[in-house]
Structure 1
Amino acid sequence: MRRMWGVGCWMMGFLLLGAQAADLLYRSGRRICSSGTRIGSVWVTQSLVQPVYKPLITVCEGLRVCSTYRTTYKISYRQISRKMALPLYSCCPGWWRAEGHSCSQVSCPLPCHNGGACVGYNQCRCSEGWSGVHCQTDVDECESGQHHCSQSCINTSGSFRCGCSQGFYLSDDGGGLSQSGEDHQRPPNTPTASSDRDG
């Protein structure tokens, strides 16, 4: 079998193999959003269609034997790199990537103050004694009646302390009253749970 290649008879086709390109990219999904495009390289399969001429013996006019050619096509493939516009992905607002390929950490654009923890986009869980969107506001336990002090309540930053009338002082446990001539204050590191704030 004899093959002949035609110079001007090349036909080219490109098949983008989706699986190969997608493996290189982050996909849109849970907490992952499209943020534009970028020019990048992807591997594509290029198909080349080439004519193949096969000799053929046939009967011509006048019962003569003639030789001619029949054209068939051979397809071959090769992998090549192409520049293409590829989607860019990033974490959706309120999330960030701590490690790996997932957006698993919640974020707050402004930090949570005074020991608060970020629990959702721009949502803080405040430590006891604090309130506000970013835990920036002191809760006035004395004004709100959350103190249970028996004589007087003094609001402090993130907490409160109980005060005593003249002739009384707070006992060592910070909750009871004893008679004396001084005003003692609760230590600043006293736990702030409501059961520990009684005085």
Structure 2
Amino acid sequence: MTTPGSTDQYMQCGSLNCSVNAKCINASATTYKCQCHAGFSGDTCHDDIDECNRGNPCYHRGVCHNTIGSWWCECLDGWNGTEHCGENITESRLCMPGWTGEWCETCADDELGCGYMGRCGQLHNGNYYCGCQSGYGRRPPCADVDECTSNPCRNSGSCINTVGSYICLCASGWTGTQCNDDIDECASIPCQNQGVCIDHLASYSCNCTSGWKGLTCAEDIDECLASPCLHSGICTNNKGSFQCACTPEWAGPTCSEKNICHFETPCSNTGNCTHINQTAYLCQCPDTWKGVNCTDDVDECAENKCKNGASCNNTIGSYSCTCAEGWEGDNCDTDLNECESSNPCNATLVCVNVDGSYTCEAKIVKDDSGGANIGIIAGATTGALLAILAAVLALLYKFKWKRNPPLNKVSDVNGKGKTEVGNKHFKQPIKE
């Protein structure tokens, strides 16, 4: 497993290999940079910061130990605290070997006082000296140094001195210990209405889309103030755009194009014309016409509009159906009720209509004695006479059919009416 902060762990950030102890941010519209997490530094944030050398964070002579990205304090006896050894846990404070004094600030073999943040040491010649920790003076008693006098805060940041260190209050657009890290304002997506954000040092700008303006592209431009509609067109401002209501003679976004549909009426046969530009238009044709200008007749017979065996006759802009026997209507889809127009059956039979035809059936009567429905039963003589009569009628029918063709019905969808050719065709009654 690799050590955190090492060069073995990285993420691609444009052309840079940022440490995983960083995040990749946009430096501009086309470049990127690594923004280091606390405890790391460098262009790619692979360098660990030694907090122990940037002002000892351990109080009361605690020993600072640097770690990758952080540190920890080894506290003297009598002191505790999760970070700085700042909590007194006993009345007596034990010093590390070689030190003495209330704050363990004096070498045990010398009376030289080094102060709270001093470090007592002995030279080879036996003399003692005091070494002050970072952020404190170079001479005893190691008093706090005001780092703000050296103006460490960059880019107009305000410096506040603290015990052993300092704090920078950064101006808008900057961050970091010394306010030298630019904030990527585009990361918060400030540009509205599809505006493109461009990050600058301590600021940003938005390239707004058409119809919008302002720092964040949130202000609508009233295009109607510039009177964009020509030839008496009426302008209406919309969010991010505008619309022109043109007079019938003109068309286009700003009413600058002549309306072909108004001047030339290119669509025939009641076709509806729609203007596209000064040289193009679109015709919406009625169902019976097609083509660019609605001049091509539609062959309705190709759509099988005529039903039940009827023959279709295409006409210019329409069609007609010649119905088969037993059917009627514009498309021959309505059954002809032969029993309603006339009774083709003889007096002893009942006509029953069916789709496209009819049948002759025997009458059914109720038997008063038994209550059951029975057919009228003719005597032997009557039955014989009926058989002879049926044979004669059949011969007459056959002879009549040869001389006159059966009925043909023609429908005209243009509403010119129906015509009948030939004589009506009577079906032979069913023999009893």
Instruction: Name the TM tier (shorter chain).
Output: 0.3 to 0.5
> Taking CA–CA contacts closer than 8 Å with sequence separation of 6 or more, which of the two structures ends up with the larger relative contact order?
1
- TM-score norm. by structure 2 comes to 0.22
- TM-score norm. by structure 1 comes to 0.40
